[in-house]
Chain A
Amino acid sequence: MSIMTATDIVAARPGPRSWLKLTAAELKMVVRDTSGLIVPIALPVLILVMSASTASQQVVANGRTALDVFVLPLVTAIILSTICIINMPSFLAYYRHAGILRRLAVTPASPAMVLVAHTVVSLVQALVGMCVALALAVLAFDANAPVHLWAAIGIFALSLVAFYGIGMVVASVAPSPNSAVAIGLALFFAIGALGGMFGGTGNLPEALETVGEWLPFGATVQALGAAWAGAAIDSVHVISLAVSAVVGIAVAAVAFRWD
């Protein structure tokens, strides 16, 4: 065999087929780890079922009920936050801890491939979770579509990126899978509590209520609620989601480690 020299070696980057293969592999990992799907799908459904029958009777505005304006935005925020802040970082932290990221680091695969694969998988999980919740809400409790449908879709997409940004920060800084779960859960409950997960935020001290609305969970609930009711979306909520997305991804880009 002829001897290869440096000039013979071409830096061929993995192509689209490789990105698809890796993404499909990550999807299989999530699907085969069925316990990881319970929280993002079963928990929101449980909350929906517990609140929907009463909420679906209370009309709030434009023919939209409390189920549409309050419960479904809350369920959406829970689905996105559990997937992006708890599930995704624990997967990546486990990959790092077990040496899977290190193993990939000695191949032509780049960190971006792993991150993009997990983004896609998170999106698929979020869409599945939303489809399950919305199908149940519509079929069993006569839920209505948002008055401003496209605005709701836009907020959903922005929220997904914002939560993902936070999740990537968790994945970057967590030294172990257990700590990733612990940090993710602490963040989830903290921003959830301030964002109305355990009841209306009106009972919180004013300063906490304001902070809660700036954080991604509260901003998602408020902005989606407005889109569902046909009200104007407060720009503060959109800006807070955009800032979370940009800051989270920028921090993760700098801090993400293979080992």
Chain B
Amino acid sequence: MAAIVAEDLRKTYKGRAVVDGINLTVYAGEVLGVLGVNGAGKTTTVEMIAGLRRPTSGRVTVLGLDPLLDRARVRQVLGVQLQESYLHGALTVTELVDVYRSFYPDPVPTAELIGRVGLQEQAGTRFEKLSGGQRQRVSIALALAGKPRAVILDELTTGLDPRARRKLWALVEAMRDDGVTVVLVSHAMDEVEHLCDRVAILDEGRIVALDKPRNITTDTDTQNLEAAFLALTGRELDEEQPLEEYA
């Protein structure tokens, strides 16, 4: 069953297509990786799925609901961890979790949420005093506060040390075991290969491959996803899309 559907999704800024006709179905309980260089349209795509941006054309549904028209209902079932979003800096981890979980009718208990992301020792620490990895974990805890059925994780582990990354990987695996649909936007090939059932590779706002990681490498006659990515896009994953290709 489809959890998230994007049909001919387009977003243009000043006449430039940042997302250029994306068709995508994410199935319930699946972990879908979205790979692409900076500027490939990953974040714009997931922000349209989250209802934060209005598509120029095309359609998105989340569990059959339009994120813009059925905003209140979609917010109940979709958890979102945004790339680089800050939170109330002077509030402690516990205070933040308490506030965000109060938005939902049947939230995960505060202590359980904090425990899930391994921040028990930092529960009384202000957000502004946390490290980058700890802040990321708070952000994920907030995305999970309402027991979502689908989650968008944008750059889940960017900038984190290997130990912190492994902890978050375990969290995503636990979500999958729980039947939660996950859209994982990432730069990290190892992360995508490890966690994702399928991968969508984006380049210049278009999907150039959408399949299981193994099938993509087979189809491109390459040894791993990194080589497949290079073969499909002509770019290394850590390079940025040239400036003139940005909106």
State the Cβ distance, A140 to closest chain B Cβ, in Å.
33
When the two chains form their complex, are residues B178 and A1 in contact, meaning their CB atoms are under 8 A apart? yes
The proximity string for A residues 212-233 relative to B, scoring 1 for CB distances below 8 Å and 0 otherwise, is 0000000000000000000000
- Contacting A at CB under 8 A, from B70-86, are 70, 72-78, 80, 82, 84-86
Residues of A within 8 A of B102 (CB): 14, 17-18, 21-22
When the two chains form their complex, are residues A98 and B50 in contact, meaning their CB atoms are under 8 A apart? no
When the two chains form their complex, are residues A10 and B73 in contact, meaning their CB atoms are under 8 A apart? yes
Say what secondary structure dominates the interface of chain A: loop
A100 contacts partner chain B, Cβ-Cβ < 8 Å: yes
- Contacting A at CB under 8 A, from B83-102, are 84-88, 90-91, 95-96, 98-100, 102
Q: A9-B65, A21-B98, A21-B102 are in contact. Are A106 and B90 (CB under 8 A)?
A: no
Q: Which of A27-35, A70-78, A125-133, A155-163 contacts B (4 or more CB under 8 A)?
A: A27-35
When the two chains form their complex, are residues A29 and B91 in contact, meaning their CB atoms are under 8 A apart? yes
Q: A28-B91, A108-B103 are in contact. Are A99 and B72 (CB under 8 A)?
A: no
When the two chains form their complex, are residues A13 and B72 in contact, meaning their CB atoms are under 8 A apart? yes
Residues of B within 8 A of A21 (CB): 98-99, 102
State the Cβ distance, A130 to closest chain B Cβ, in Å.
25
A12 contacts partner chain B, Cβ-Cβ < 8 Å: yes
When the two chains form their complex, are residues A106 and B51 in contact, meaning their CB atoms are under 8 A apart? yes
Q: A99-B86, A106-B52 are in contact. Are A14 and B103 (CB under 8 A)?
A: yes
B179 contacts partner chain A, Cβ-Cβ < 8 Å: yes
B149 contacts partner chain A, Cβ-Cβ < 8 Å: yes
Residues of A within 8 A of B72 (CB): 11-13, 108
The proximity string for A residues 107-144 relative to B, scoring 1 for CB distances below 8 Å and 0 otherwise, is 11100000000000000000000000000000000000
The proximity string for A residues 27-45 relative to B, scoring 1 for CB distances below 8 Å and 0 otherwise, is 0110011000000000000
State the Cβ distance, B91 to closest chain A Cβ, in Å.
6
Residues of B within 8 A of A109 (CB): 103
State the Cβ distance, B84 to closest chain A Cβ, in Å.
7
Which residue from chain A places its CB closest to the CB of B150 in the assembled complex? A4
When the two chains form their complex, are residues B84 and A99 in contact, meaning their CB atoms are under 8 A apart? yes
- Contacting A at CB under 8 A, from B46-79, are 50-52, 63-65, 70, 72-78
The interface size bin for chain A is 20 to 34
Q: Please report the C-alpha to C-alpha distance between residue A258 and residue B82 in the assembled complex, in whole angstroms.
A: 14
B243 contacts partner chain A, Cβ-Cβ < 8 Å: no
Q: A22-B99, A102-B52 are in contact. Are A108 and B104 (CB under 8 A)?
A: yes
State the Cβ distance, A209 to closest chain B Cβ, in Å.
43
When the two chains form their complex, are residues A106 and B80 in contact, meaning their CB atoms are under 8 A apart? yes
Which residue from chain A places its CB closest to the CB of B95 in the assembled complex? A25
When the two chains form their complex, are residues A1 and B179 in contact, meaning their CB atoms are under 8 A apart? yes
Partner of B75, one of A98, A99, A106: A106
When the two chains form their complex, are residues A102 and B85 in contact, meaning their CB atoms are under 8 A apart? yes
Residues of A within 8 A of B86 (CB): 98-100, 103
State the Cβ distance, A131 to closest chain B Cβ, in Å.
24
Q: A22-B102, A25-B91, A106-B75 are in contact. Are A4 and B85 (CB under 8 A)?
A: no
A5 contacts partner chain B, Cβ-Cβ < 8 Å: yes
Q: A14-B102, A21-B102, A108-B103 are in contact. Are A3 and B1 (CB under 8 A)?
A: yes
B105 contacts partner chain A, Cβ-Cβ < 8 Å: yes
When the two chains form their complex, are residues A4 and B90 in contact, meaning their CB atoms are under 8 A apart? no
Which residue from chain A places its CB closest to the CB of B28 in the assembled complex? A3
A6 contacts partner chain B, Cβ-Cβ < 8 Å: yes
* Residue in A10, A21, A105, A108 whose Cβ sees the most chain B Cβ within 10 Å: A108
Residues of A within 8 A of B1 (CB): 3
When the two chains form their complex, are residues B75 and A108 in contact, meaning their CB atoms are under 8 A apart? yes
When the two chains form their complex, are residues A108 and B85 in contact, meaning their CB atoms are under 8 A apart? no
Q: Please report the C-alpha to C-alpha distance between residue A100 and residue B142 in the assembled complex, in whole angstroms.
A: 12
Partner of A12, one of B63, B91, B98, B105: B105
When the two chains form their complex, are residues B63 and A107 in contact, meaning their CB atoms are under 8 A apart? no
Partner of B88, one of A100, A102, A106: A100
Q: Please report the C-alpha to C-alpha distance between residue A33 and residue B90 in the assembled complex, in whole angstroms.
A: 8
Given A21-B99, A106-B80, 5 further pairs, Cβ under 8 A: A18-B103, A99-B84, A102-B52, A105-B52, A106-B51
The 8 closest A-B pairs by CB, nearest first: A6-B64, A99-B85, A1-B179, A11-B72, A98-B86, A106-B80, A18-B102, A32-B90
> Which A residues form the contact surface with B (CB < 8 A)?
1, 3-6, 9-14, 17-18, 21-22, 25, 28-29, 32-33, 98-100, 102-103, 105-109, 258-259
Q: List 7 A-B contacts (CB under 8 A).
A: A1-B178, A5-B64, A12-B105, A25-B99, A29-B88, A100-B85, A106-B78
